[in-house]
Structure 1
Amino acid sequence: MNRLIIAICSVVLLQSTVAQAELPSASDAVIRQSLSSGRPTIIDLGAHTCIPCKKMAPILESLSVEYRGKASVLFIDVHDDQAAARKFRVQMIPTQIYFNAHGKEVKRHIGFMDKEGILKELKNAGLK
């Protein structure tokens, strides 16, 4: 019985931790500013309700903090911002789009991507 209670509490705590590790959905102005900042940028287009998106949220949050000033890490919730989904031609979520320091799209990936994969693509986009 105690193990069941501990397991339930662990699941609840894990879910609340994942929910807290969400980047806010980026506005159009923030996107424009990031793409003209001279830094590589990743824009993750997903939804706060999407399972792979939820798994990526803490990864993106940690990269955002770790590489602040060196790269821009943005999230757009396509359910809240359908215009952005159309603008970036999103077919499935999550979709990550990588931009170089000049704001040019250099890579697009659909599906979950781990921290190492994201870092590799940011480095390919010019992260130093």
Structure 2
Amino acid sequence: MSIKDVTDSTFVQATEKGFVIAELGAAWCAPCKMIAPALEEINEDQHNRISVVQLDVDNNQETAQKYGVMSIPTLLFFKDGELMEKSVGFQPKEEILSIAQKHIS
């Protein structure tokens, strides 16, 4: 199960149900490439509890502006459409899961 790519027009629909981690990044971003394997593992291992989506900020600036994204990668943690937490920069898998766990239970 691969991470779903979303756009400005599909972002709200992709984050409105369940627990979703949205990664806002770009193809040229080295820290985004570093965080990708952790997000892929979370998406694979936790697919029944956590969905992961990614948005390219170069092509979808409306969403990036809406959430005040100044640096990438930025992770947005949503629960049923409500933004619960925001994390900026590279995070190891354990830290991402730790943030998610606070809001899931």
TM-score bracket, shorter-length normalisation: 0.7 to 0.9
Query: Which of the pair has more CA radius of gyration?
Result: 1
Q: Which residue of 1 aligns with 2:16?
A: 36
Q: State the 1:57 CA deviation.
A: 0.9
The total of aligned residue pairs comes to 104
Over the matched positions of the two proteins, sequence identity in percent amounts to 32
- The Cα of 1:69 is off from its aligned counterpart by 2.8
> Quick one: which of 89, 92, 95 aligns to 2:74?
95
Alignment partner, residue 78 of structure 1: 57
Does the residue aligned with 1:79 lie in a helix, a strand or coil? coil
Q: Helix, strand or coil: the match of 2:86? A: strand
User: Following the alignment from structure 1 to structure 2, what is the Cα–Cα distance between the partners of residues 78 and 90?
Assistant: 9
Q: Amino acid of the residue matched to residue 62 of structure 1? A: E
Are the aligned partners of 1:64 and 1:72 in contact in 2 as well (CA < 8 Å)? yes
C-alpha displacement of 1:24: 5.0
Cα deviation, residue 58, structure 1: 1.3
SS at match of 1:125: helix
Give distance in 1, aligned partners of 2:23 and 2:45. 17
Q: Greater strand share, 1 or 2?
A: 2
Aligned-pair distance for 1:77? 1.1
TM-score, length-normalised on structure 2?
0.85
1:70, 1:23 → 2: CA distance?
Answer: 14
Q: Using the alignment, how far apart are the partners of 1:57 and 1:93 within structure 2?
A: 12
CA drift of 1:33 comes to 3.0
- 1:27 maps to 7
- Give 1 or 2: higher helix fraction: 1
SS of equivalent residue, structure 1 residue 89: coil
TM-score by length of 1: 0.71
Q: CA deviation at 1:27?
A: 2.9
Residues 23 and 57, structure 1, Cα contact 8 Å, conserved in 2:
no
1:120 corresponding residue in structure 2: 98
Counterpart AA for 1:122: A
